[in-house]
Amino acid sequence: MERVVLVTGASGGVGLALCQRLLEEDGRIHLCIACRNDQKSEATRDLILAAHPAAQVSTVEVDLGNLASVLRVAQELRCRFQRLDFVYLNAGIMPNPHVNFKALWRGLLTGKLLHMLTTAEGVMTQTDRLNGDGLQEVFATNLFGHFILVRQLESLLCGNEKPSRLIWTSSSNARESAFSLSDYQHAKGQESYSSSKYATDLTSVVLNRKFNNQGLYSSVVCPGLVMSNMTYRILPVFLWKLLMPIMWLIRFFAKTYTLTPHNGAEAHVWLFKQKPESLDALVKYHSCTSGLGKNYVEPRKMDVDEETAEKFYQKLLELEKETLEKYSDLLD
């Protein structure tokens, strides 16, 4: 049977490029694309089929920041498929991003500018808010919605003849300093995106410990700095146009400046071809592009504490129990 691949956040950026590249790798897969509304899903499907007319492409509608939507799509997927071979947990948001230009100036004076430009450490802030479920929106969309989806799809992911894979889109901006167990939704800070990505890294580490013996393996990737709808909201478009020649030059020194969604999907596609048993659960796989435009993957050890990861996982289970009580009618 063909392998079934689910991709969230597939309507643009790295998600769309990933779908196209996966079909180039294996045109026999059944690709299921998950977008926030039917209109986007169908438009994305048409775009993919225009390049791959023989491909098997289906769609589902899901808003990862809405638990009812997540539960409904999980129920739909359980009815449609007998198993899932790959789930790319790629959807994410960065609302109201702001650049701290004073921090950039200090970085220039202290020699830390290149590090700040490649990790956004101390540079990017976001303004978060509560969603309809009473959760912090960034945490809910980037991490918790995906966590609930995985939990609801365990019957399709575990105990199959061949291993199933979870591949999370993380970031080089995932930093321990932005994350706190006592405020894991990041309600009190201004780096919700960084916190949610560090939480993603922690979650993946524990999922491997819990589920490898059931044939489910989890990995995290960093697409690098990709020009997409998310990054274009950070600065006005005319500024990006002025900066692009400089960014191409920076890539000679900063290999994570992948810049295009196609390049940013390199690590995602590389993992598609690997045997999960050979991968290190404590490694993040980074998409990189050389100054001359060659794509490659660089594995880097994650800065995660396994005890913290386990404590955080328990908090996720407690939050799951607490929040799902109101949605008993959507549970089997």
Active site residues: 193
Instruction: List the one residue out of 42, 10, 4, 17 whose CA is nearest residue 224.
Output: 17
Distance, in Å, from the CA atom of 26 to the CA atom of 22, rounded to the nearest integer, reads: 6
DSSP-assigned beta bridge partners for residue 222:
286
Residues in the chain: 332
Distance, in Å, from the CA atom of 18 to the CA atom of 226, rounded to the nearest integer, reads: 13
| Contact yes or no for 192/136 (Cβ under 8 A) | yes
| Sign of the alpha-carbon torsion through 77, 78, 80, 86 | positive
Tokens 């830390």, located at residue: 112
| Contact yes or no for 286/300 (Cβ under 8 A) | yes
Find the farthest-apart pair of alpha carbons in the chain and give their distance in angstroms, rounded: 58
Rg (C-alpha) for the chain, rounded Å, is 19
The helix or strand, by DSSP H or E, that contains position 145, with its residue range, turns out to be helix 145-152
